[in-house]
A and B are shown apart, each in its own frame.
Chain A
Amino acid sequence: MTEKQSIISTRRSKLTLEAVMSAAFLLCGLAAVVSVLFISVYMVASGGPVIAKVGILKFLLGRVWNPGNGQFGILPMILSSIFATAGAILIALPTGVLVAVFLSKLAPGKLPGALRALIDLLAGIPSVVYGLLGAILLAPLIFKLQTWAGLPQSGSLLAAISVLSIMILPTIITVSETALRAVPKQYEDAALALGSTRLQCIFRVTIPAAKSGIAAGMALGVGRAVGEAMAVTMVAGNAAILPELLKPVRLLTTSIPLEWAYSSGLHREALYGIGLVLFVFIMIINAALSAILKKGGAHNA
């Protein structure tokens, strides 16, 4: 090249393109933020009034949900949601962590790859299909239990817990496996060199070192379980009574699609109110999740 290259750009278009693109990125970023803000404001604006009208304590702690009679107590639904989620975690967390341990540390050869593909498939199955399977396969078994206990055959908390636990399993497995794989090999080498068996090494060193990642998987599972409506509607029986294992339950989520079509006036507003409660639930779970992740990050640094 004999011609000297100037650092002064003569190509305007290049600079303009840069400016346009960064504006576009900014806009996309803002879209996400604005959506969240809009949803938050809208949920409060639409769900707030009914809570004020009914009274916050009567709404949250009322035991009777009878819209025809003007009774809007959602305590049974709140407790049912909490019990169903807690039950699902109680089953899915240990199972999921053990599966993750198997996949990341113990499974030989190509088995982990094959299993992982199946688990991803499990995660992708539409929730209504889980509902169908629950209703067809699980419900008859629980009917037997109910008959044995002298209760009428119906949907139940137990059925909801079972279906939810299977639905959140893939999330817990995947996140836990990632966390277990991220544990530095040198910790495990140290444990083995001290004379640990493979299992002692996993349970005393690897899993504790991965606990913040596993907790994140659990929080994601809780989020999914709290928010799930479709599958639960099909197996839970949907009676708004205080939860018992073998009796029908109605979760926060399921009330909304069940009653939406025929609700009006204060009844419909009450469904907005349930939506707001659910929204706050999820916010709390997400806040807990990011707190866990932050703590985990600080711990590893």
Chain B
Amino acid sequence: MNQAKLYTKDLHLHYGEIHALKGVSMEFPARFVTALIGPSGCGKSTCLKTLNRMNDTVPGVKITGKVLLDGEDVYAKNVDVPTLRKKIGMVFQSPNPFPMSVYDNVAYGPRVHGLKNRLALDEIVEESLKAAAIWEEVKDRLKKPALRLSGGQQQRLCIARALATKPEILLMDEPTSALDPISTAKIEELAVELKKEYGIVIVTHNMQQAARISDYTAFFLLGNLVEHGPTSDIFSNPKEKRTEDYISGRFG
């Protein structure tokens, strides 16, 4: 029996005629950062979205194989998808705060999951904003529209919003691709800090980023998981020629 928090087993995904994931089996351990890398269209984002079933609404999608969270099949018929997504939070490529106040953004998740108590909400909002390292910047403007924050602040707010539902795993889909280097550095620091409490899966185009912050790296190509292992091995001693080509090509 696999001990990992979350893992996939022979996962295939078709978008209509396109075979986007071809039998991916890998694990995502808790309290580590797993990076998914590979060229555009290789399936890394698709793989990420199968974990919290965000591909469900795409027309023509067909998924076979298994995704298991604590041993339970995420694609079983009787799964309550909102609860699954409460446990597996997600941060998107470009910051997407709601057009509401900073407070209401963070309180959104707890509220839809039924929390009404004002004091408890206040506490979760503060806790989440602190965990996302943005509390000091926004504590005096909780009632101000979130869309007035800078891009980097918005992304950290989105992380706070995802943390507020108290997830166990945080998915990050190229979370820094729309940000400047300073904001990127802050998000990276944050990811390293957050792995103490959460399992983190990050999709990134930036290989230095994967090397800097991840413990495990998975290299995708054309829907195949080519190689998966400790980040240091993948970058310094890849087993597969294709992995080596990709990594050295980018660095060279």
Contacts and interface: CB of A to CB of B under 8 A. Distances in A.
A209 B57 CA distance: 21
A190 B158 contact: yes
Interface stretch (B108-116, B194-202, B221-229): B108-116
Contacts of B108: 191, 194, 204-205
Contacts of A205: 98, 108
B96 A195 contact: no
B99 A194 contact: no
A127 interface: no
Interface string A215-256: 000000000000000000000000000000000000000000
Contacts of A208: 99-100
Give the 5 A-B residue pairs with the shortest CB-CB distance, closest first.
A195-B86, A186-B96, A193-B90, A195-B82, A195-B85
Report which residue of A190, A197, A205, A299 has the largest number of chain B beta carbons within 10 angstroms of its beta carbon.
A190
Contacts of A190: 92, 96-98, 158, 161
A194 B100 CA distance: 15
The range of chain A's interface size is: 10 to 19
B92 A194 contact: no
A95 interface: no
Contacts, number: 63
B98 A191 contact: yes
30 contacts: A184-B96, A186-B92, A187-B98, A187-B99, A190-B92, A190-B96, A190-B97, A190-B161, A191-B112, A192-B54, A192-B57, A192-B85, A193-B54, A193-B92, A194-B85, A194-B108, A194-B109, A194-B112, A194-B161, A194-B162, A195-B82, A195-B112, A195-B165, A196-B82, A204-B111, A205-B98, A205-B108, A209-B99, A299-B99, A300-B99
Interface in B111-144: 111-113
A259 interface: no
B34 interface: no
A120 interface: no
Interface in B65-104: 82-86, 89-90, 92, 94, 96-100
A241 to B, nearest CB: 47
Interface in A161-207: 184, 186-187, 189-197, 200, 204-205
Which interface class (under 10, 10 to 19, 20 to 34, 35 or more) fits B?
A: 20 to 34
Contacts of A204: 108, 111-112
Contacts of A192: 54, 57, 85
Contacts of B243: none
B198 to A, nearest CB: 15
B153 interface: no
A297 to B, nearest CB: 13
Contacts of A299: 99
Report which residue of A187, A194, A209 has the largest number of chain B beta carbons within 10 angstroms of its beta carbon. Answer: A194
A186 B94 contact: yes
A120 B108 CA distance: 37
A128 B191 CA distance: 66
Nearest to B145: A299
B52 interface: yes
Contacts of B113: 195
Interface string B35-59: 0000000000000000010100100
A299 B148 CA distance: 10
B180 to A, nearest CB: 20
A89 B203 CA distance: 48
With a 10 A CB-CB cut-off, give which of A187, A195, A205 has the most chain B CB atoms. Answer: A195
Contacts of A193: 52, 54, 85, 89-90, 92, 162
Contacts of B52: 193
